[in-house]
Amino acid sequence: MAKPPQLYFTVVRHGETSSNLNHIIQGHIDTKLNKTGREQVEIVGRRLRKLKFDHIYTSDLSRAKKTADAIAKHHPDTPFTVDMRLRERDMGRLSGKSIQDALDLIKEEEASWDDYGEPEEEFKAQVVGFFDDIIAKHLPKNEAGSSPPNKRNSHILLVTHGGVINKLVKEHLIMDLGFFVNDYLSMKHKAKNTSVTKFVVRRVESSNSTTDDDDATSIVSSNTTENESNDGDSEKISHRDIERKIRLKGDVTLWSCVSHLAAQGKRTHGDSQIDDYVH
């Protein structure tokens, strides 16, 4: 009997920029790779050169696109797509400021990080919407006899930003969908420059459900919804409850691995708390 199809993902964060190095908030600013970043992307390209990718997707921002180009040159026949949904979160008026200047502005205006730029829920909906589309396009449904026993499962490469990686892997896959994590201790680290993260996705077989897979994925991006209860009050349904209807499961098999840089004696950026804001 053929095993249910799986979809493999390799996710790479872009190489280092001078803004990363100097703790400058980037957001949608189209910063370029610095000298270290250009070295890093060549090294990660060599690390991944022997893998077989079925499609490469990258953010349109230069720091990610140039990273994807360095990997893609080892895979000249692999389809290559630029998708703006893989962009970093727009930080609005905080973009281009140092962390300290941003903190001073927030204090002066008696605000919080969430008061600036793209709302967190909209950013997450964009990331999850992209993921939904990839699943719909590349992960076959569990139909009996639909795939030969020896058919190779597809493998997707994503090249993107730290904020996108956190939203997709830590929040959506692990928290919303309950994916198994092989090494929880590694999750305390940030997604470092040119780090490699891997996960695998499977559809959950369910013969009792009346909800079609395509209908289920169409509601992933919903943050909350409301149902009318018997007494007329609106009852909020959590994002987590909605997302569990997607009927996907999987494993995060590798998180933020930079062994390719360590082997070359190269440093990487992404170890401090400050890196939450300089993706």
- Answer yes or no: are the C-beta atoms of 130 and 102 closer than 8 Å: no
Q: Please confirm, yes or no, whether 161 is among the known catalytic residues.
A: no
- For residue 211, say whether it is annotated as part of any ligand binding site: no
- Angstrom distance (rounded) from CA 15 to CA 237: 39
Reduced 3-state DSSP string for 95-117 = CCCEHHHHHHHHHHCCCCHHHCC
- For residue 229, say whether it is annotated as part of any ligand binding site: no
Alpha-helix residue ranges (DSSP H) falling in the chain = 18-21, 35-47, 62-72, 99-108, 120-138, 162-165, 213-217, 239-243, 259-262
* Listed residue (157, 155, 193, 189) closest to 13, CA to CA: 193
- Angstrom distance (rounded) from CA 77 to CA 204: 32
- Angstrom distance (rounded) from CA 169 to CA 171: 6
- Torsion angles phi and psi, residue 254, rounded to 5: -155, 135
- For residue 18, say whether it is annotated as part of any ligand binding site: yes
Name residues whose C-beta falls within 8 Å of residue 207's C-beta, 6 or more positions apart in sequence. none
- Answer yes or no: are the C-beta atoms of 162 and 67 closer than 8 Å: no
Q: Please confirm, yes or no, whether 23 is among the known catalytic residues.
A: no
Token digits of residue 11: 């996710």
- Angstrom distance (rounded) from CA 73 to CA 87: 22
- Angstrom distance (rounded) from CA 151 to CA 149: 6
- For residue 20, say whether it is annotated as part of any ligand binding site: yes
| SS3 state of residue 275 | helix
- For residue 16, say whether it is annotated as part of any ligand binding site: yes
- For residue 166, say whether it is annotated as part of any ligand binding site: no
Active-site choice (39, 55, 74, 88): 88
Helix (H) or strand (E) holding 237, with range, is strand 234-237
- For residue 13, say whether it is annotated as part of any ligand binding site: yes
- For residue 92, say whether it is annotated as part of any ligand binding site: no
| SS3 state of residue 257 | strand
Which residues fall in the annotated binding site?
Answer: 13-20, 63
Q: Which residue ranges make up the annotated binding site for substrate?
A: 13-20, 63
Instruction: Show which residues are catalytic.
Output: 14, 88
